[in-house]
Amino acid sequence: MGIFNELRTVLEINLEDNHLEEIEKGMFDNSPNLKRLNLAGNKLKQLPKGIFGKVMFLETIWLSENRIGQFHRDSFKGLVYLETLLVNKNRLEELPSDIFLDLKNLKTLDLSSNQIVELHNDLFKGLQRIESINLAGNKITLLPVEVFDANLLQLKSLQLSNNQIEAFSFEALSGLKSLSELDLSNNMLSEINSITFNEISSLNLQSNRISFLDTNLFDNLPQLKRVRLEGNNLDSANLQEQ
């Protein structure tokens, strides 16, 4: 089973910034109390099926800055105590629809800087306590209306910047009752429809292709403190009352 065979009391293993190209199946099986596992900054292309099957108390997993191109649908199965999952800066193009289904206590999910093109409708189903989702720096062109369903009641931050989103329906976020920060900067949006969020305080729409803003666009944003619109196609007429 390797070097970690007898580490039954260990709580954290940090293998960050090495040259690991693969992880042996069962490598962490005899570390049942492991809570934090850092595999960031390596050369991993995939994870063995069931690699986390015997470390059910994991709270944080770092997989950032690897070369992972895909996950098995059961990659995170049973990790009900996981709170933070960082998979940014990999080569993911697609995610199985039910990959996060068991992560009922997950609070932070970072999928930024991958190559994700589309999201399945049920991708975030089950993330009852999620507070932050980062999808910035991917290749997403369209967001299904159902992907951010009403079960994400504790989601506070949604990062969608630096994608290729051409159209966005704010109605798709109507169930996100706690959302306070939304970043859609550096996309290809040309228009913005009605926005209604009771809690949102920061809205970033910079560097899109927006040429028109409805006069009442921000009327239903009572907590809004910061709005960014630089780098769009607005002119003086667009900002005057119609």
Top-confidence residue, 134 or 177: 134
Domain boundaries, the chain: 1-115, 121-236
**How does pLDDT run across 155-198, given as a tens digit for each residue?**
999 999 999 999 888 877 888 889 999 999 999 999 887 777 77
Top-confidence residue, 169 or 56: 56
Joined tokens for residue 145: 């209306």
Whether 121-236 and 1-115 are alike in CATH topology: the answer is: yes
User: What does the pLDDT read at residue 5?
Assistant: 67
Q: What CATH fold (topology level) applies to the domain 121-236?
A: 3.80.10
pLDDT confidence band for 104 (50 / 70 / 90): very high
Query: Of 164, 193, 158, which Cα lies nearest the Cα of 179?
Result: 158
**How does pLDDT run across 144-166, given as a tens digit for each residue?**
878 887 689 999 999 999 999 99
Is the pTM value of this prediction over 0.75?
A: yes
Exposure string for 53-90, b = 16+ CB within 10 A, e = fewer: bebeebbbbbbbbbebeebeebbbbbbebbbbbbbbbb
CATH architecture entry for 1-115: Alpha-Beta Horseshoe (3.80)
